[in-house]
Structure formats: C-alpha cells, structure tokens
Amino acid sequence: MDRAERNGGFVTRADLSFMSLPSGESRRVIDASRGIWNPRDMDATLSVVSSPTGPYADREVEGGLFHYSYRAGSVNGDNAKLRRAYELGVPIILLRKVQDGIFVPHAPVYVVADLQDRREFLLALDENARFLASEFEATPQRSYVERLVRQRLHQADFRGRVIAAYETRCAVCRLRHGQLLDAAHITPDNAEEGLPYVSNGLSLCKIHHAAFDSDLLGISPQYEIQIAHRLLDEVDGPMLRHGLQEMHGAKLTVPSRKTDKPDRDRLAERFSKFLLHSS
Ligand SMILES: [Zn+2]
C-alpha cells in the first residue's frame, strides 16, 4: 500500500512481482498469468484480480459486498485456497485492474461468504462490511454501506487511472510525488452512472487542485493554464510567485494517449466559470 501511495494510488505488475514486506523478505503478490494467486507455501489465497468492465450499478457490489466469481472448472482447484481464506478468516488483497499492467490495490479484504450454487465468493472491502454477510435482508444501513463501497471503488479506480495516465505527474507543475497528487474532476461525475473516465480527470498536486477548484487557476480548452487576475497582481512569497503566477500562460502536460487527454468540452464548461470569477 505504501508503494501505491508513492505512485499515486496504483501499482504496476512489476511492483507486484517483487514486493518487499515489512519482515524484510520480498515476495510476488500477483499470479504471473491467472487472476488468483495461491502461493505454494501458503494455506490460503494471497490476492485476486478483478477488472472493472461495466457501470458501477452492476451487481459487482450488490449488497455492499464485492461479488467475486469462481475460477472456471471445479469448485475446488484454484478456488480451494480462496475458500480456505474464508474458513481461516485471513485477509487477502483485491487488485482492481484499471488498465493493462496497472492495478489499484485494496487490503485487507475478507472473504465473508462462499456461494457454491452461484459459483462466487463475497468479499468485504473492510472490517466494517464483514457484518453484511450474516444479514441478507435489505436494510437502510445496508444500502448506505453499498453506496459507500461503490463510491470508494469508484474514487480509487479514478485516482489510479488518472494518475497512472499522467505518469505520476502534476499536469500543471509536473511534480512527481504520488502522495501529493490528486485526481481532480473537470466536471462532477456521478459514481452510480459509469466508468471513471480519465478524460474527465486531471492529475494535480494538492495546491493546484485546490487552486483549480476555487477558480484561482483555470485551464482553457486549448490546454493553456490561466491564473486569476487578482492573484497576478499580488506580491507574496515563492509559492505564489513560482507555484502560481509563473504558471500563467503555460501549457498543460497531458497524457499521450488520445482517449486519456482532458475532454475539451468539459474544460470549456469549467473555464467559462473560471472566467466569471477570475477578475
Ligand atoms: Zn502542481
């Protein structure tokens, strides 16, 4: 999880193939080719991979629990060690594949039910969600937890995708510290409605994120950075001068993949709001 923080919310397949543990040893935490990693020297599964493919309203997090399908074939086989994680109550790692070779990790995750007739396990994404397994009826509390779980997955996926697309860099100042980077929304999106598109995001350091959200910094649809007039006239220390004023007129650093570039229509909408407030 430290590794993910340093990257800005994601890990690469290379990170996962050789991860140093607090004990000093290092170990692989993802299977080389399959979606479930059952190390030979462990009784239970260490990690499982899931790929978000559809909208969040799907049954993936029905009832506040994550539905993880059995591996094809026997109900035992690879599934046996995941069942063992359930029996032992030991946590596993859930790796959300957000793009090729890029994963957003969630840990600790608990296997809280084994539904053999549906060929799936139910996973609780934190300690608090574990109680949901024993209570199947719809309660207000349950739908509240379900909404939280969806939101959390959505936000984590969005951050991982956006910051990975910007190669762990602030789009304004190119700062390269994942711990200091956020995935900012250009226009608000609805977590219930769809996938977290990178084109509605910007990888921004904390200060530029806050400046963007408060219309002290605007980004034109031509990817030009603008600083609010009232800030340009001020005299103050180095953060104002180098961090903000000198960015005025600079070009935004954007991802190389066309589909990941910031959406110009969304920027235009946001930029007109900036212009209203910038004088
Ligand atoms: Zn920045």
Distances (CA, A) of 195 to 51, 171, 183, 232, 246: 12, 22, 14, 37, 35
270 CA → ligand 1 middle, Å: 18
More confident residue, 221 or 21: 221
pLDDT score recorded for residue 135: 62
Task: Express each pLDDT in 156-189 by its tens digit.
Answer: 999 999 999 999 999 999 999 999 999 999 988 7
For range 221-235, the mean pLDDT? 94
For range 270-277, the mean pLDDT? 93
| Residue whose structure tokens are 């996973």 | 123
Residue ranges of alpha helices (H) inside the chain are 2-7, 13-17, 79-88, 140-165, 206-213, 229-232, 238, 264-277
Mean residue pLDDT of the chain comes to 89
Query: Could you tell me how many residues make up the chain?
Result: 279
Task: Express each pLDDT in 91-105 by its tens digit.
Answer: 999 999 988 999 999
Residue 19's beta-bridge partner residues?
A: 27
Q: What confidence tier does 84 reach under pLDDT thresholds 50, 70, 90?
A: very high
For range 250-276, the mean pLDDT? 95
Percent of the chain at pLDDT above 90? 64
278 CA → ligand 1 middle, Å: 19
Task: Express each pLDDT in 109-152 by its tens digit.
Answer: 999 999 999 999 999 987 777 777 766 566 777 778 788 888 88
Closest to 3 measured CA to CA, from 14, 18, 15 = 15
As a dihedral over the C-alpha atoms of residue 156, residue 160, residue 162, residue 163, rounded to 10 degrees, the angle is: 130
204 CA → ligand 1 middle, Å: 5
pLDDT score recorded for residue 138: 62
109 CA → ligand 1 middle, Å: 33
Predicted model pTM: 0.89
176 CA → ligand 1 middle, Å: 9
210 CA → ligand 1 middle, Å: 10
95 CA → ligand 1 middle, Å: 28
For range 50-59, the mean pLDDT? 58
Task: Express each pLDDT in 25-36 by its tens digit.
Answer: 889 999 998 889
12 CA → ligand 1 middle, Å: 23
pLDDT for 195 beyond 80: no
| Amino acid letter, residue 198 | V
More confident residue, 239 or 60: 239
82 CA → ligand 1 middle, Å: 42
pLDDT for 193 beyond 90: no
173 CA → ligand 1 middle, Å: 4
pLDDT for 206 beyond 80: yes
14 CA → ligand 1 middle, Å: 27
Pairing outcome for strands 225-227 and 26-27: unpaired
240 CA → ligand 1 middle, Å: 12
pLDDT for 8 beyond 50: yes
* Contacts with 169 (C-beta within 8 Å, 6 or more apart), sequence order: 175, 176, 181, 203, 253
1 CA → ligand 1 middle, Å: 23
211 CA → ligand 1 middle, Å: 10
Angle at 10 between CA 9 and CA 15, to 5 degrees: 135
191 CA → ligand 1 middle, Å: 26
Q: What confidence tier does 59 reach under pLDDT thresholds 50, 70, 90?
A: low
pLDDT score recorded for residue 136: 56
